[in-house]
Amino acid sequence: MIQATTMLYLYVETPLHAGTGSGLSSIDLPIQRERTTQYPMIQGSGIKGKLRSAAYAATWDNEEIQVVFGPEDSGADHAGALIAGDARILLFPVRSLDGVFAYTTSYEVLSRFQRDIARSGKQLDWNMLSQSQNQGEESVALVTTSSSVATGDTLVLEEFSFTARADPQVNAIAQWLAEQAMPQASEYGYWREKLKNSLVILPNNDFRDFVVHATEIITRVRINRQTKTVENGALWTEEHLPSDTLLYVPIYATNARKMKNGSNDKDASSMSASAILDKAKSLETSLRGYIQLGGDETVGRGMVCMHWQ
């Protein structure tokens, strides 16, 4: 039974490819997506596996790793106490005519985030968004009152134009995200301030179109060592989440399930659920907040900055 809950935020610093294998479209290697919404995501098993690798890099002892993540070889002995959900989209960067790029989201994404974070005991009063999305104004985008990406009442993202409506309550949402979801290190000061001036809440359909069609597509080749030319047939395309994407991962914990000396005594292990979460959160400090997710590690892809609730 789950006894403790928190949220892990992942800020993408270099393009991230969490793949699904070969694709059937024009993209050879697409990224993971939710079946119904087509929003980008990263499966929880990949998140938990990377946290486990990070624990090894942080020189946890073997007993701690088994308690938190479960035994590596004999999984039938007991389950790990840490539960990682799927990484879901919260903010998606989109090229803007003004302000370079905007941090975009939608009512549906924010509403789902409200639901997910409520499990950790936080209540977010963002219900005003439902009213703005039910007025039949498909081309209206909500922006902050000091928006740097809208000019007057016009917002241009990629080649699409929207009617920009400034709303003080969007300021409050941007402020909360900057203070609670973004990394808090000093080098992120500029990006936290940019979020306060560049947040855009799009209609649901428009946001979905951007996360489906405005991801980063990278073409790669393999070179023949002798001829220094491209190998025959060794040309492929990879889809990546762009830099400056913000994801969130619901994290849960139970009391430690590992028993001492094969005992059936459920109280044999002393690590509580809250202690499990505290141990996991210590990875942010021991690894300076950075982990690598997805493929192409040796070419610098998938560097993300962790921030725990």
Q: What is the pLDDT of residues 35-54, one digit of tens each?
A: 999 999 999 989 988 888 88
Q: Chain-wide mean pLDDT for the chain?
A: 85
> What pLDDT does residue 269 have?
55
Domains in the chain, start-ordered, CATH in brackets? 1-18+44-85+241-309 (3.30.70), 90-214 (no CATH)
- Residue 268, pLDDT above cutoff 80: no
- Residue 263, pLDDT above cutoff 60: no
Q: pTM score, two decimals?
A: 0.88
> What pLDDT does residue 264 have?
47
DSSP code per residue over the chain: ---EEEEEEEEE-S-B--B-S--SSS-SBPBPB-TTT--BEE-HHHHHHHHHHHHHHTT--HHHHHHHH--SS-TTS---SEEE--EEEEEEEEEBSSSSEEEEEEHHHHHHHHHHHHTTT-----THHHHHHTSS-TTEEEE-TT-SSEETTEEEETTEEEEEEE-HHHHHHHHHIIIIIS--SGGGHHHHHHHHHHEEEE-HHHHHHHHHHSSEEEEEEEE-TTT-SEEEEEEEEEEEBPTT-EEEEEEEE-S--PPGGG---TTS----HHHHHHHHHHHHHHTTTEEE-SS-GGGT--EEEEEE-
- Residue 114, pLDDT above cutoff 50: yes
- Please write the tens of the pLDDT for every residue from 196-205: 999 999 999 9
- Please write the tens of the pLDDT for every residue from 58-105: 878 888 888 888 787 766 667 778 888 999 999 999 999 999 999 999
Comparing 26 with 134, the larger pLDDT belongs to 26
